[in-house]
Structure 1
Amino acid sequence: MLTKLQLIQSATAISMAIATLTTPTVIVRANPSSASGQSSISAPQLVNSKQQPRRYGRSSIALGASLDTISGAAETALVEHLVASDVKFYGSYSCSHCQKQKSLFGAAAAAKLPYIECAPDGENSQRQLCKEKNIQMFPTWVIKGKYFPGTRDLKEIAAMTGYRGPMDFKYQK
């Protein structure tokens, strides 16, 4: 007999798989510099890609998308809090939802995330650990021993982890 959590995880995994099959590839880019020459970052610019997704082998870049959103002080402070709080972010390099989650942090902060690669052919794969932890969908956050599947807004992650630093995050889910 399946537990309530297992049923929820299964239903969520199925709905995310359907969404992945019907959603075009998305590349997230920071807004270009303004006419005054100063950088203007208010939200990521989403660019649909009609090209066939490219795979870069044992890479952490998914679907040919480059992570070029910009991290601010708030995103960096949140990642430092996540590392100090022993939070884990399980994902796969080929998961577009994982790439979107990383893009919310910006490239510099995302590089410091407590990320665990679950794809068997991914860079620094920890597939066995993912199996032991019963990770069934990506992304999955593990916070204080509880599993939180799906892409999360940074303010939501901050609240779930007790983060009390700056909250002026650049991007929203």
Structure 2
Amino acid sequence: MDLFFLSGLIFFTLFLAGSFAYLFCNEFKSSYSNLPPGNMGLPFIGESLDFLNTGRKGHPEKFTYDRIAKYYSPIFKTSILAEPTVVVCGAPSNKFLFSNENKLVQAWWPDSVNKIFPSSTQTSSKEESKKIRKMVPNFLKPEALMRYIGMMDSIAQRHFEAG
């Protein structure tokens, strides 16, 4: 009786694990079927480790260049920081993307950005996108940057003296 119970438990566990893997793989593939070439990487991790590793080595653009060469396309899909992502490179691709904003593509913010800048439930994603887009250039105006030049200069001087 003990052997029968143990073998039944093992069979049931394997059946459950196989069913879960089959459903997960099919759902994962079908939800991204209309995307450019690319690799989504490992579940939940994606290609985050490779992306972070190239950045840590001081060459973050290598991640992008490697995939452009691998897929022979300036547009590819990947998964970075648990978010499915389509990377668009090059002037023609970016021109197409930004000239068709809110026509072919819809602006949205990842969960990490929504945690930093929580949006109200009364405004749409499109309105939120326009509001944040108007705010960002204010941070990059010469007047705003002038406040930080002294601090950035002293940090750079200390860095050069230490190196």
TM superposition score category, shorter chain reference = under 0.3
TM-score normalized with structure 2 length: 0.26
Greater helix proportion: 2
Which of 1 and 2 has higher RCO (CA within 8 Å, sep 6+)? Answer: 1
TM-score normalized with structure 1 length: 0.25
Structure with bigger gyration radius = 2
Greater strand proportion: 1
